[in-house]
Amino acid sequence: MKDIIFLLLTGLIAAYLCWYFFQRYQLHKALHNLYYLMGFAVLLVSGLLLISFGMGILASPYVLTVASLIPLGISMGLAEEYFPAWKTYFKWFAAVGFVAIAVTSVGGMDTLKKIAVPLFHGVAGLVIFAGPFVAKGAPKGFWWVGIGGLLIGLGGIALAFITMGRQLLFFSPDFVMLILTPLLFLMTGAFALGFTKKG
C-alpha cells in the first residue's frame, strides 16, 4: 500500500510537469521543453506500470530501456536550454546511450550491459545533478533540479546494479525496493520545485 501511495503521488506530480512543459512548449516552441516533457511522460507511464504490474516488471529489459529515457530526456533538456555550446555532442551521446542500453538489455548481452547502463545513466544523472548549479541565467531555486538529479542518479545506478545481479555499496535488493517509491516521489517533487521557479 505504501508503494501505491507514493507512486500515485509521483504520478500526479509527473502529470502536472507534463502539462507544465506542454504549455511552455505551446508558448515558446522551445525544443528543451519537449525533452523535459519526454522525461516526465516516461516517468508517469513507468509509475502507472509499476502500480498495475508491481515491482517485478523492473526486471524486464524493455522497461529498463524505456526508463532510461527519464534521465536522458531531462539531461538533454538541460543541455539544450543552458549549455548550447555542447548540446549537439550531448544529444549524440544520449542517442548512442539509448541504443546501447536497448541492444545490450534486450539482446541479453550482460557483460556489455554492465558497462552501458551505469555509464550512460551515470553521466546523465551527473548532468542533471551538476548542471543546475552552474547554469547561467537559471532562476533562483533551480538548484532543486540538481537535488532531483542526485536522487535519480543514486536510485537509477543502484537499480541498474541490482538488475545485473550485483550490489552497489549498501544498496541491497531489499533496501532498494524499500526506498524506491519514496525516492521517486522525493525526486519528482524536487524537480517540480526547481523547474517551476520563475525567478
Q: How high does pLDDT run on average in the chain?
A: 85
For residue 170, pLDDT over 60 is answered with no
| Percent of all residues in the chain with a pLDDT value above 90, rounded to a whole number | 40
pLDDT at 11 over 90: yes
CB 120 within 8 A of CB 100: yes
Query: Are 79 and 91 within 8 A, CB to CB?
Result: yes
63/70 Cα distance (integer angstroms): 11
Q: Name the band, by pLDDT with cuts 50, 70 and 90, for residue 59.
A: confident
Residue 116 pLDDT exceeds 90: no
Report how far residue 21's alpha carbon sits from residue 40's, in angstroms, rounded to the nearest whole number. 9
Contact 124, 94 (CB under 8 A): yes
- What is the pLDDT at residue 114? 74
Instruction: Of 92, 2, 100, give the one whose Cα is nearest residue 51.
Output: 2
Give the mean pLDDT of 148-158: 76
Q: Report residue 157's pLDDT band, with 50, 70 and 90 as the boundaries.
A: low
pLDDT confidence tier of residue 3, bands split at 50, 70 and 90: confident
Handedness of CA 145, 151, 152, 157 (dihedral sign): positive
pLDDT > 60? residue 199: no
Q: Is the pLDDT of residue 171 over 80?
A: no
Give the three-state DSSP class for 146: helix
Helix spans in the chain (H): 2-28, 31-53, 61-67, 69-82, 87-106, 110-134, 143-163, 173-195
Reported pTM? 0.88
